[in-house]
């Protein structure tokens, strides 16, 4: 934080639920304070923007509306807004500092930001800009001081004062004076310069140039000085010592002719950025997978907007829902996760996606309200862990946090990649996948389920959304993993855990074995049926059943063997082994259905030649599976951190932010690291230095065991 003391002589009152902690700084339109929520103890930044007349009020409201509407992982998170007689109080996520501050710090040490940081920020800013531009918004005032760095090291666009609609036929606002050094050349030659997307790209180029070289290419004391400096700026001199691909990128972004300047979408979608990053003389050591994922997300952008969970803006939710969401957020954030985003709600509770503070890795977090259900899930996963020979095909819980006060339990599991096999709705189309790709995916799922059955459990919820993919950036391979054991139950005791199609979303029923649809007794082959439905769906490019409700589905399911017989025709292009597999798993008679017991399913001849070590997909194979019009409700991607990084985190105490003063007492929640990877980091966070790491871990493990 920039200031330890409150610097202003006049301190405007803050909203009732917040206590001022620190003054962060002032801009052209108001001041920003660090403040603590007096119930949750969570820290926020509160921007107080004043107004003196109706016009000023409208201007503020325009900024707030834009910020509400355009929330994105690379836009500073809006928490809530309070309107006062002469001012608006905008509560924002608290960031650590601005990019300007970071750049000043490093240049005062005679250095630039390190290269991987530059690359990350470059992608972050570009993602945020591309998001706005897709929505026909120009940011308008892009400069390092308006880029904030979140506590998990993500660069985010802050200060929406200059955001303006463009190209929508509506009147655009004239570009306010702002800071001339970020103006593109064309702004100086127009009588009423207006914010534009190409103007943003110039500013983006200037920021990138300053990050890789030095700040201060554009100087001046008034408008005409700046006009001279900007219009006379010689990009070729500024970039001449840079690697060639970077030169090309900057020459395009800083082209005086806006028409020649790359747009954010062109830049993101072009292979040129990838080429830049991949090129041997690139200044960026990099993970090309990240960019590919960003590009993929970008292509699915419109769907993203449609499906984005509304929880990003707490303010717009109904009061009751707001309380629930706020409490979940509090639970998750007090367990040291940030950037919490809602994903799903099911019978056990809610599922979120959040980023661990250090190292900044993204996880999925399931909050289970009922302690008995939590205990059941925990025992189940512990047993699977014990019995599974090859649990690498399953996504198991990595950690468990429990809140003693509310009895809620947080199950944290990996979410390093966002893609699932989710198909969207029934009418969605995807390209027919190649049989060999499908064969590998189904083999991997079958491996996971076989292990689950060996451990004595049925999955009972095998649907595309529960098949996730993990990408290994270094080897560029992709592995399918089965997740979500919320409906799993012991095979032997399945009668005690009834499963009925009634009350379930119809989409889930599409993968249910006929015996469940008919309310009959079922055996272990129900998971094989679901697997068959997924295989068929991938091969066909659409869901096998056209029914619109459960009654129609009951009538349609018996026709499946005939349907598969038709697929045996040479025109369908499927091998005999594939047809035989489909017939085996989609057998209407559960007694004769191919099942997982005794490895029967895995030994089917369709899988001949495949083993756990050679079934991974290549990245290109994987992309052929991507549905063309299916939302991938996620855009933030984090490079996996290296083992060395984690080790350095443990060795250097100063690398762990002293958060306890900002957080509610963590003793109210305990954790268990099921996989053991991060224990030491947590131990230090929870116990400080007073106890040895080992003692602390042991203490909490004991507590968890006792509670269960
Ligand atoms: N969410 C936040 N978290 C932490 N610091 C913040 C946050 N928002 C703004 N700040 C800090 O508060 C200060 C003022 O920010 P503000 O956006 O009002 O002005 P500015 O961008 O510096 O100037 P201008 O409004 O003239 O463009 C800046 O130093 C900024 O880094």
Instruction: Please choose from 158, 162, 181, 195 the residue to mutate so as to test ligand 1's pocket, defined by most ligand atoms within 8 A of CB.
Output: 158
CA distance 470 to 253: 34
Q: Does pLDDT of 388 surpass 70?
A: no
Per residue in 322-360, pLDDT tens? Answer: 334 678 888 888 777 877 888 777 788 888 888 776 556
Cβ of 32 less than 6 Å from ligand 1: yes
Q: Is 148 touching ligand 1 by the criterion CB < 6 Å? A: yes
Binding site membership of 63 for ligand 1 (Cβ less than 6 Å): no
Q: Which stretch, 72-76, 139-143, 585-589, has highest mean pLDDT? A: 585-589
Whether ligand 1 lies within 6 angstroms of the CB of 478 is answered as no
Is the predicted pLDDT of residue 689 greater than 80, yes or no? Answer: no
Q: Give the pLDDT score at 275.
A: 59
Long-range contacts of 264-269 (CB under 8 A, 24+ apart): 264/126, 264/129, 264/130, 264/133, 264/197, 264/200, 264/201, 264/204, 265/130, 265/133, 265/134, 265/298, 267/126, 267/130, 267/201, 268/126, 268/127, 268/130, 268/294, 268/295, 268/298, 269/295, 269/298, 269/299
539-591: pLDDT as tens digits:
988 888 888 889 999 999 999 999 999 998 888 889 999 999 999 999 999 99
Lowest mean pLDDT among 108-122, 172-186, 328-342, 588-602: 172-186
* Distance, CA of 574 to CA of 65 (rounded, Å): 53
Beta bridge partners, 354, equal: 363
In this predicted complex, what is the ipTM? 0.95
* CB of 94 sitting under 6 A from ligand 1: yes
Share of the chain above pLDDT 70, in %: 72
Mean pLDDT of 594-617: 91
pLDDT at 684: 32
Give the pLDDT band (50/70/90) at residue 527. Answer: very high
Query: pLDDT digit string (tens) for 199-234?
Result: 999 999 999 999 988 888 888 888 888 888 888 899
Greater confidence, 95 or 338? 95
User: To test the ligand 1 pocket, which listed residue (24, 77, 91, 103) has its Cβ within 8 A of the most ligand atoms?
Assistant: 24
CA of 369 to the centre of ligand 1 (A): 38
Q: Rounded mean pLDDT of 304-308?
A: 31
| pLDDT of res. 232 | 87
Per-residue model confidence (pLDDT) at position 3:
43
Q: From the CB of 102, is ligand 1 less than 6 Å away?
A: no
Choice between 58 and 2, residue whose per-residue pLDDT is larger:
58
Atom 29 of ligand 1, nearest CA residue: 25
Ligand 1 pocket, 159 CB below 6 A? yes
**What is the whole-number distance in angstroms between the Cα of residue 193 and the centre of ligand 1?**
24
* CA–CA gap between residue 621 and residue 202 (Å, rounded): 37
C-alpha of residue 71 to centroid of ligand 1, in Å: 18
The confidence score (pLDDT) of residue 533 equals: 96
Q: Is the pLDDT of residue 458 over 90?
A: yes
Two tokens at 423? 């198909």
Query: Phi and psi (nearest 5°) for 471?
Result: -100, 135
Place of tokens 């009061």: 319
Q: 648-656: which pairs have CB atoms within 8 A and are 24 or more residues apart? A: 649/358, 649/359, 649/681, 650/680, 650/681, 650/684, 653/684, 653/689, 655/358, 656/358, 656/681, 656/684, 656/685
pLDDT confidence band for 47 (50 / 70 / 90): very high
Percent of the chain at pLDDT > 90 equals: 24
pLDDT of 10 over the 70 cut? no
**CA 591 – ligand 1 centroid, Å:** 67
The least confident of 136-145, 482-491, 675-684 is 675-684
Question: What's the predicted TM-score (pTM) here?
Answer: 0.49
**What is the number of H-type helices and E-type strands within the chain?**
25, 21
Please, which residues bridge with residue 349 across strands? 346, 368
Distance from residue 223's CA to the centre of ligand 1 (Å):
23
Question: Is the shortest distance between the CB of 25 and ligand 1 below 6 Å?
Answer: yes
Report the separation in Å between the CA atom of 148 and the middle of ligand 1, taken as the mean of its atom positions. Answer: 8
Mean pLDDT, the chain, rounded, equals 75
36 marked ligand binding residue: no
Query: Does position 630 have pLDDT exceeding 80, yes or no?
Result: no
Q: Which atom of ligand 1 is nearest to the CA of 30?
A: 18
Q: Which segment, 307-321, 434-448, 456-470, is predicted with the most confidence on average?
A: 434-448
Residue 432's pLDDT band (cuts 50, 70, 90): confident
Six token digits for residue 424? 């969207």
> Is pLDDT above 70 for 300?
no
Query: Above 70 in pLDDT, residue 685?
Result: no
Please pick, among 4, 114, 124, 141, the residue that the annotation labels catalytic.
Answer: 141
β-strand partners of 411: 366, 400
Query: Which atom of ligand 1 approaches the CA of 162 most closely?
Result: 27
Asked about 141 being catalytic, the answer comes back as: yes
Q: What is the pLDDT of residue 635?
A: 28
Confidence of residue 664 (pLDDT cuts 50, 70, 90): very low
Nearest residue CA, atom 31 of ligand 1?
A: 98
For residue 148, the ligand 1 atom closest to its alpha carbon is: 31
Strongest mean pLDDT among 276-280, 308-312, 567-571: 567-571
Residue 98, ligand 1, Cβ within 6 A: yes
Q: Is 549 within 8 Å of 556 (Cβ atoms)?
A: no
Cα of 46 vs centre of ligand 1, distance in Å, is 10
């Amino acid at each position: 934080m920039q200031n330890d003391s409150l610097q202003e002589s006049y301190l405007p009152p803050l909203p009732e639920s917040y206590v001022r902690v620190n003054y962060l700084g002032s801009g052209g339109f108001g001041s920003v304070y660090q403040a603590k929520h007096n119930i949750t103890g969570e820290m926020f930044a509160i921007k107080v923007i004043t107004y003196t007349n109706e016009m000023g009020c409208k201007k503020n409201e325009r900024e707030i509306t834009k910020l509400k509407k355009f929330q994105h992982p690379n836009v500073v998170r809006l928490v809530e807004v309070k309107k006062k007689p002469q001012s608006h109080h905008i509560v924002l996520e608290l960031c650590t500092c601005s990019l300007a501050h970071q750049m000043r710090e490093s240049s005062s040490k005679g250095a630039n930001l390190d290269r991987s940081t530059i690359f990350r920020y470059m992608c972050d800013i570009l993602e945020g800009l591309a998001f706005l531009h897709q929505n026909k918004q120009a940011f308008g005032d892009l400069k390092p001081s308006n880029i904030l760095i979140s506590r998990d090291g993500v660069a985010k666009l802050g200060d929406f004062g200059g955001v303006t609609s463009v190209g929508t036929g509506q009147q655009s606002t004239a570009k306010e004076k702002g800071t001339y050094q970020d103006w593109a050349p064309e702004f100086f030659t127009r009588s009423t310069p207006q914010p534009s997307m190409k103007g943003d790209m110039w500013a983006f180029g200037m920021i990138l140039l300053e990050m890789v070289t030095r700040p201060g290419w554009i100087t001046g004391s008034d408008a005409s000085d700046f006009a001279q400096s900007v219009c006379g700026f010689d990009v070729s001199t500024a970039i001449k010592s840079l690697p060639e691909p970077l030169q090309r990128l900057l020459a395009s972004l800083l082209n005086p002719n806006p028409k020649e300047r790359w747009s954010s979408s062109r830049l993101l979608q072009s292979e040129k950025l990838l080429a830049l990053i991949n090129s041997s003389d690139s200044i960026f050591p990099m993970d090309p997978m990240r960019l590919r994922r960003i590009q993929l997300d970008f292509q699915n952008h419109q769907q993203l907007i449609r499906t984005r969970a509304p929880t990003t803006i707490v303010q717009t939710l109904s009061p009751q829902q707001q309380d629930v969401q706020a409490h979940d957020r509090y639970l998750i954030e007090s367990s040291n996760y940030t950037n919490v985003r809602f994903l799903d709600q099911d019978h056990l509770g809610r599922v979120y996606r959040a980023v661990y503070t250090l190292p900044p890795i993204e996880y999925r977090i399931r909050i289970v309200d009922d302690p008995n259900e939590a205990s059941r899930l925990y025992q189940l996963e512990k047993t699977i862990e014990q019995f599974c020979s090859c649990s690498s095909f399953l996504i198991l819980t990595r950690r468990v946090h429990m809140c003693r006060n509310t009895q809620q339990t947080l199950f944290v599991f990996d979410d390093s990649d966002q893609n699932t096999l989710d198909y969207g709705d029934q009418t969605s189309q995807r390209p027919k996948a190649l049989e060999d790709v499908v064969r590998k995916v189904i083999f991997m799922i079958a491996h996971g389920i076989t292990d689950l059955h060996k451990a004595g459990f049925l999955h009972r919820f095998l649907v595309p959304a529960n098949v996730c993919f993990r990408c290994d950036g270094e080897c560029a391979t992709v592995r399918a993993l089965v997740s979500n054991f919320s409906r799993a139950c012991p095979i032997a005791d399945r009668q005690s855990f009834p499963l009925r199609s009634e009350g379930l979303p119809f989409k889930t029923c599409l993968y249910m074995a006929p015996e469940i649809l008919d309310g009959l007794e079922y055996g272990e082959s129900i998971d094989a049926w679901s697997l068959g439905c997924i295989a068929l769906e991938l091969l066909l490019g659409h869901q096998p059943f056209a029914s619109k409700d459960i009654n129609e589905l009951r009538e349609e399911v018996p026709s499946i063997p005939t349907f598969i017989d038709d697929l045996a025709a040479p025109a369908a292009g499927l091998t005999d082994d594939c047809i035989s597999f489909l017939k085996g798993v989609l057998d209407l008679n559960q007694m004769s259905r191919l099942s997982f017991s005794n490895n029967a399913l895995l030994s089917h001849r369709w899988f001949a030649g495949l083993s756990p070590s050679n079934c991974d997909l290549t990245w290109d194979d994987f992309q052929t599976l991507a549905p063309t019009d299916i939302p991938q409700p996620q855009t933030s991607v984090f490079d996996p951190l290296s083992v060395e990084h984690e080790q350095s985190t443990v060795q250097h105490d100063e690398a762990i932010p002293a958060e306890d003063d900002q957080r509610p007492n963590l003793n109210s929640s305990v954790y268990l690291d099921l996989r053991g990877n991060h224990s030491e980091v947590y131990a230090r966070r929870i116990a400080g230095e007073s106890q040895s790491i080992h003692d602390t871990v042991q203490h909490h493990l004991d507590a968890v065991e006792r509670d269960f």
